[in-house]
Amino acid sequence: DTGVSQNPRHKITKRGQNVTFRCDPISEHNRLYWYRQTLGQGPEFLTYFQNEAQLEKSRLLSDRFSAERPKGSFSTLEIQRTEQGDSAMYLCASSFGLDRGNEQYFGPGTRLTVT
């Protein structure tokens, strides 16, 4: 297990198109988080899963965004009808959860550019 992986690493799309990102967490981790990061800012929470259950969603997550984690393993984040404001780095992180201190392990991120 080489850590959290994300695919693709870069995505360029035209406004109005749909995009989907994938995150493969560390296999023993039951929590999985999605963040968005723009230039000059820290990671901004979007949503998280405890196993396959999506327990929390940020109010920033519009209805164009949807995330899934089937079977509690990998997760996908889909953005429909992309807008230029969606251009950002999308980060995934996983953790054991609160009983192990909830230390988060981050993936390398997917950089989205909407033209």
Partner 1 sequence: AQRVTQPEKLLSVFKGAPVELKCNYSYSGSPELFWYVQYSRQRLQLLLRHISRESIKGFTADLNKGETSFHLKKPFAQEEDSAMYYCALGGSYIPTFGRGTSLIVHP
* Residue 106 in the binding site for partner 1 (CB under 8 A): yes
Cβ proximity of 19 and 11 under 8 Å: yes
Rule CB under 8 A: choose which of 27, 28, 40, 63 binds partner 1.
Answer: 40
Among residues 59 and 71, whose Cβ is nearest to partner 1?
A: 59
Burial (CB < 10 A; 0-12, 13-18, 19+), residue 28, is exposed
Minimum distance from residue 33 beta carbon to partner 1 (Å): 7
* Residue 18 in the binding site for partner 1 (CB under 8 A): no
* Residue 17 in the binding site for partner 1 (CB under 8 A): no
Backbone angles phi, psi at 108, to 5 degrees: -75, -15
Minimum distance from residue 21 beta carbon to partner 1 (Å): 15
Minimum distance from residue 69 beta carbon to partner 1 (Å): 17
Residue 78 φ/ψ region, left for φ over 0, alpha for ψ in the -120 to 50 degree band, beta for the rest: beta
